[in-house]
Structure 1
Amino acid sequence: MSRADTPNLEPAPLSRGHKKRERTRRGLIDAAVRLFAQKEVGEIALLDVANEAEVASGTVYNYFRSRDEVVEAVGLAMADEFSEAIAQHSVGVDSGARRIAIGVRMFILRAINDPDWASAVVRVVHFDQAMRSKIANYVLTDLRAGKDEGVLTYEHEAIALDLLVSCTLGAMRSVVEGRSVDEHDVLVAEMVLKALGATAARARKLARHELPG
């Protein structure tokens, strides 16, 4: 098939109406993130989201039918946003174990620099299965690569996944609650790698490797 005969598979540009709708939806999600940084998920109603976003109370119902839908949208947006940032910083990094260290450290460093964001993540991730599944999908690839390359030697994949995610979230909570220590990101990454079967020397080297980018 010639180039001229090739069908145009590029998505059609969004109309002005669609762009406005996406801006409004994003504004509602951002408003919910700010609220989740301050209060538990169960304490927030759709009206609170509308007020925080400074839109009419009926507007939020054009986008979300329940608080659960808001929580899921927030969780997926946060998982996608930060996982993409980690992926960009890991371009050219072939080691799955090193990518794990990068991811753990970046989540903790982001928590240190933006504790409100971290508070929202910690609250939402425990409430929303969709966010947990999205994060797990990103993490599993690196866990498996780390095992295939012989650096990680864990026996049960599901337990390894729980350990990695739970330790990272726990470290973020420590930051939010003012319980972090010097080199918190490095020390947590090192301990996680050792728990996943890396030797002490390898874990220390990977955790202390300069972050790319």
Structure 2
Amino acid sequence: MAPSTQPTPPTAEPPLSRGHKKRERTRRGLVDAALRLFSRKELGEIALLEVAEEADVSNGTIYNYFRTRDEMVEAVGIAMATEFSDAVSSLSQHVPSGAERLAIGVRMFIIRASNNPQWASALLRVFHFDRAMRSRLAIHVQTDLRAGLAEGVLAYEEESTAFDLVLSCTIGAMRAVVEGRAVVGHDARVAEMILKALGAASTKAKEIAEAALPAPP
């Protein structure tokens, strides 16, 4: 009899243990506590034990997760960047144009700042401090930049400069929202200006920036 050619079914991942789930909940609680503190205070003013108090855990517990304040800041930055940028990416995954996806991302970060100033304040404080957060954001931005260039909508010359422009303008727009300086339709206006700066034609940039945002799945 010939040997079977049917593929071997994949091995199922073992379920998380109760202890592992508890550890993840505790770590998430510490990150959330740090996030709340970052929205109220400068990073240099926050100590690990203050985060432990905010999270309502013992002083010794936090050192099981973070040895230094820098480690904690990195964890918060990565969590913020990953969760929201992944959510934006998921929302725009069926949008074929890289330039359109880029505009959607810019607008949604600005809109989120308007809807949740506490989140925005924390992100603004962490952004300039944590390199890992910027690296995580780069994954999505660079993909959309390259697609926009390939499709002929964008016409920038140097990718790292284009990336810095997108992030700097978006962060500046979020700061304007938090500080009450944003104008009506701030998200679309900023997206339009970014697209123009990246080489998009004025008419195309306006059309993309003012398009309806994709509906949540």
Q: What TM-score do you get using the length of structure 2 for normalisation?
A: 0.95
Structure 1 runs of 4+ with >6 Å offset = none
Equivalent residue for 2:6? 2
Cα drift, residue 87 of structure 1: 1.1
Cα drift, residue 7 of structure 1: 4.1
Query: Whole-Å Cα distance in 1 between the matches of residues 89 and 165 of structure 2?
Result: 21
Unaligned runs of 5+ in 2: none
Query: 1:1-213 alignment to 2 at 5 Å?
Result: 1-3=5-7, 5-8=8-11, 10-213=12-215
Query: Whole-Å Cα distance in 1 between the matches of residues 133 and 115 of structure 2?
Result: 22
- Give the length in aligned residue pairs: 211
Unaligned runs of 5+ in 1: none
Query: Whole-Å Cα distance in 2 between the matches of residues 166 and 97 of structure 1?
Result: 17
What one-letter code is carried by the residue in structure 1 that aligns with 2:203? A
The alignment partner of 1:33 has SS state of helix
The alignment partner of 1:127 has SS state of coil
Q: What TM-score do you get using the length of structure 1 for normalisation?
A: 0.97
Query: Whole-Å Cα distance in 2 between the matches of residues 2 and 149 of structure 1?
Result: 41
The alignment partner of 1:209 has SS state of coil
**Percent sequence identity over aligned pairs:** 64
Cα drift, residue 192 of structure 1: 0.4
Radius of gyration: which is bigger? 2
Query: Whole-Å Cα distance in 1 between the matches of residues 17 and 112 of structure 2?
Result: 35
The alignment partner of 1:68 has SS state of helix
